[in-house]
Amino acid sequence: MPEMSSPNGSLSQYYDRLSRYGALARLIGRDGGYGRATVHRLLRSTDAATDPADVIHSRIAALSSRPPGRLLDAGCGLGGTSFYFAQRFETVCDGVTLSPAQADAASQAAAARGLADRCRFRVASYDAPTEARYDLIVAIESLAHSADPAASLANLAKARAPGGRVVVVDDVRSVDADPADVAAFVAGWQAPGFRTRADWVLAFEAAGLRLDAEHDLTPLVPQRGALAREALLLANRAAALLPFAAWRGVLASHRGGLALERLYAAGGATYRLLAGV
């Protein structure tokens, strides 16, 4: 569900391509999160009633004592986060994404679910100012694509209603992370950088947010063994020889994901939820 500081450019194209690839993969039985309209990480569920796509959503919902009346999904992807809150809590949700393909797919999914009156999606940057105010603002795997996450977080914080909360879920670099894997991840996922926990704490403080909750979700991330990762990397490099630019972009994203898996395994990265009020 990722964004960047400009509503134009390569990142928009990158996510359009990933969305089309995901839709094609679903047709051949590799659903990922598409059945749940999500593009974020699917986590191990410790509750049979909670779908892996909704583990993050249930963690976010549990942060507040009352359901949010209005939500901003900053980097909405296919709309899954908005659908979760709209269906369970009748929350009115606004989603922004740089990807026209994602915004269109999310809008169609909202109509199919009977949620078009509560879930609206548009092509826009989360760095754009908004006059609306929200009880809950979520950025799931999206601020990693901001050229200046502190500035992006500060802009989102301005859109809080009184007592509102901002929740960031993203990968966080350890200070001793392997530089080669960091470089592969950054290049593959078109991220301007890879921030540490200390960077995020400072960003919350600069945005005037008090960090009131933090969860390390890494133990819930399904991980492959080293041999499986290396086999997939070899297959990826072979497939990258095909002369299709769009395909190479998808493969680069896959290589970035494999590098991230290596970082997880070595303690070089964690997957974290950080919430501020």
Q: Going from the N-terminus, what domains does the chain have, and what CATH number goes with each?
A: 10-173+193-222+269-276 (3.40.50.150)
For residue 34, the surrounding DSSP H or E stretch is: none
* Chain CA centroid to CA 166, Å: 14
Q: What pLDDT shows up at residue 1?
A: 38
pTM for the full predicted model: 0.90
Mean pLDDT across the chain: 90
CA atoms within 13 A on the CB side of 34: 17
Name which residue leads in pLDDT, 260 or 11: 260
- Answer yes or no: are the C-beta atoms of 53 and 222 closer than 8 Å: no
Q: Which of 47-51, 197-201, 260-264 has the lowest mean pLDDT?
A: 47-51
Q: How far apart are the first and last CA of the chain?
A: 22
Q: What pLDDT shows up at residue 5?
A: 40
Quote the CA–CA distance of 202 and 84 in Å, as a whole number.
Answer: 30
User: Shortest CA distance to 150 belongs to which of 77, 92, 109, 200?
Assistant: 200
- Helices (H) and strands (E) counted in the chain, each on its own, are 9, 7
Which pLDDT tens digit goes with each residue over 93-149? 999 999 998 999 999 999 999 999 999 999 999 999 999 999 999 999 999 999 999
Token digits for 123? 């092509």
C-beta atoms surrounding 199 within 10 Å? 15
Quote the CA–CA distance of 277 and 169 in Å, as a whole number.
Answer: 15
Token digits for 97? 């994404």
Radius of gyration of the chain (CA): 18
Token digits for 254? 């896959």
- Answer yes or no: are the C-beta atoms of 138 and 71 closer than 8 Å: yes
Q: Using CB atoms within 10 A of its CB, is residue 135 exposed (0-12), middle (13-18) or buried (19+)?
A: buried
Q: Are strands 119-123 and 92-97 parallel, antiparallel or unpaired?
A: parallel
C-beta atoms surrounding 67 within 10 Å? 14
